[in-house]
Amino acid sequence: MKIYKNIPLKKYNTFGLDYKADCMIHIKTEKEATAFFNGEVSWQKPLLIIGGGSNILFTSDFKGTVLYPELKGMKIEEEETENGYVIVSAGAGIIWDDLVEWTVIKGFGGLENLSLIPGKVGATPVQNIGAYGVEVRESILKVKTISTDDGSMRIFNNAECQFGYRNSIFKTLEKNRFLVTRVYYKLTTSPSLNLYYDSLKQEVNMLGKETLSNVRQAVINIRQRKLPDPELVGNAGSFFKNSVVTSAVADKLKKEYPEMPVYEEREGYKKLASGWLIDKCGWKGKRIGDAGVHDEQALVLVNYGKATGKEIFNLSQEIKKSVYEKFGVDLEREVEVIGVI
Ligand SMILES: Cc1cc2nc3c(=O)[nH]c(=O)nc-3n(C[C@H](O)[C@H](O)[C@H](O)COP(=O)(O)OP(=O)(O)OC[C@H]3O[C@@H](n4cnc5c(N)ncnc54)[C@H](O)[C@@H]3O)c2cc1C
């Protein structure tokens, strides 16, 4: 366990915001995590667990303790080739895309559509990450955690994680109460590919055969074309979630704006592309100081260099306001705002 005081957070968040935390603790093993939470170490509350910091917007210095899990290891736990599945596990501190690459090389299917999503393994069940018609909940078997109350270990099976759209029990009922230490994924050894998205299918076909590695490569190609690289321009991917509204609201809007993309959701509800709504309000490519809206993807807010977290937050408020005024739709942030606003 390593303890750092008054630590700059710039390299710990993909917006590249230059705030500080009073204290940061790097944890490498489950034993260290247990010791940390069962009272053997004294630390200052509040607590923030951080992975790659790719879904976080800091708006001020963090007056508390940041816990940075560095638990490593990718492992095949069980291989049932006859039944066509394999269980792999990875430590919370593993870079997510390293795990995806490893599984694709091994020929295990399930994670390939989620290639190149930034961040660490530990956040994947928290966020229920998703892309190109796939959500990670479809592959998660169980999640190993340590209670932040007393250091005890608890395993959550898939149902107990209460996964929803970019959501889970770790973001709602049990927020900040569990440190994810290891995640177990059930993958298939005879993959059936998900090419539901036309753009993905076309890209795969351009690469050649419909194989796991071509799906991964196609996803990487599309993402690299469409999304800003946080190494070059600070951002946290989609700043807002797509908007789930009642079918009545969606149908009324569709009548007014026939070109508006609308997707089926659970019964009685439809999903609107929030990026489209933001674009229609004229925000795409707009910039206020160094805080801006990406010129290719209106859902992504960016830091062109010296924006503060508050400036990015204020921009998001302006966007929310104008989308509400024009469409009556209340955008929900996907990015978690941490700090004083
Ligand atoms: C360019 C770009 C593209 C993106 N594209 C997508 C996309 O296609 N789909 C998608 O779903 N997301 C996307 N994202 C968002 C982001 O990558 C994901 O939400 C990712 O899972 C966040 O991982 P992280 O390790 O950076 O988590 P962080 O941002 O560090 O944390 C996110 C949340 O998880 C909690 N947390 C993190 N680790 C742990 C742990 N070990 N135990 C308990 N809680 C923990 C944190 O406290 C916080 O609440 C994108 C982001 C960027 C920058």
Q: What is the pLDDT of residues 144-161, one digit of tens each?
A: 999 999 999 999 999 999
238 flagged as catalytic: yes
Q: CB atoms < 10 A from the CB of 317, how many?
A: 12
CATH 3.90.78.10-classified regions of the chain: 234-338
Give yes or no for a contact between 133 and 113, defined as CB atoms under 8 angstroms apart. Answer: yes
**Measured from the CB, is residue 179 less than 6 Å from ligand 1?**
yes
Q: Is 177 assigned a catalytic role? A: no
CATH number of 2-69: 3.30.43.10
Confidence of residue 40 (pLDDT cuts 50, 70, 90): confident
Write down the catalytic residue from 238, 243, 274, 316.
Answer: 238
pLDDT digits (tens, 9 = 90+) for 43-74: 999 999 999 999 999 999 999 999 999 999 99
Q: Is the CB of residue 308 below 6 angstroms from any atom belonging to ligand 1? A: no
Please provide the DSSP assignment of 309-334 as one string.
HHHHHHHHHHHHHHHHHHH-----BS
Q: How distant is the alpha carbon of residue 23 from its chain centre?
A: 24
Residue 167 has pLDDT above 90, yes or no: yes
pLDDT band at 41 (very low <50, low <70, confident <90, very high): confident
pLDDT, mean of residues 253-265: 95
Give yes or no for residue 292 having a pLDDT over 90. Answer: yes
Q: Which listed residue (166, 182, 216, 333) is catalytic?
A: 166
pLDDT at 147: 97
Q: Domain 234-338: which topology?
A: 3.90.78
Please give the pLDDT value at position 82. 83
How far, in Å, from the CA of 106 to the mean position of ligand 1? 25
Q: Is the shortest distance between the CB of 114 and ligand 1 below 6 Å?
A: no
Residue 118 Cβ contacting ligand 1 at under 6 Å: yes
54 lines ligand 1 (CB under 6 A): yes
Question: Ligand 1: does its nearest atom lie under 6 Å from the Cβ of 127?
Answer: yes
Q: What distance in angstroms lies between residue 122's CA and the mean position of ligand 1's atoms?
A: 9
CA 142 to centroid of ligand 1, rounded, Å: 18
Segment 72-94, tens digit of pLDDT: 999 999 999 888 999 999 999 99
How far away, in angstroms, is 250 Cα from ligand 1 center?
A: 29
For residue 329, which of 249, 268, 238 has the smallest C-alpha distance?
249
- The pLDDT assigned to 127 comes to 98
227 has a pLDDT exceeding 90:
yes
Location of each CATH 3.30.465.10 domain in the chain: 74-226
In this predicted structure, the answer to whether residue 139 has a pLDDT above a threshold of 90 is yes
Domain 74-226 has CATH 3.10.150.10: no
pLDDT of residue 231: 95
Mean pLDDT estimate for the chain: 97
Taking alpha carbons only, the member of 152, 148, 143, 146 closest to residue 177 is 148
- Please state, in angstroms and rounded to a whole number, the distance separating the CA atoms of residues 179 and 175: 10
Arithmetic mean of pLDDT, 267-291: 97
The stretch 244-256 carries a mean pLDDT of 97
Output the pLDDT for position 232: 96
**Looking at residue 209, what is its pLDDT?**
97
Q: Is pLDDT above 90 for 191? A: no
> Please, which contacts does 217-224 make with residues 24 or more away whose CB atoms are closer than 8 Å?
219/112, 219/113, 219/114, 219/115, 219/116, 219/131, 219/132, 220/115, 220/116, 223/115, 223/116, 224/116
Of the chain, the percentage scoring pLDDT greater than 90 comes to: 97
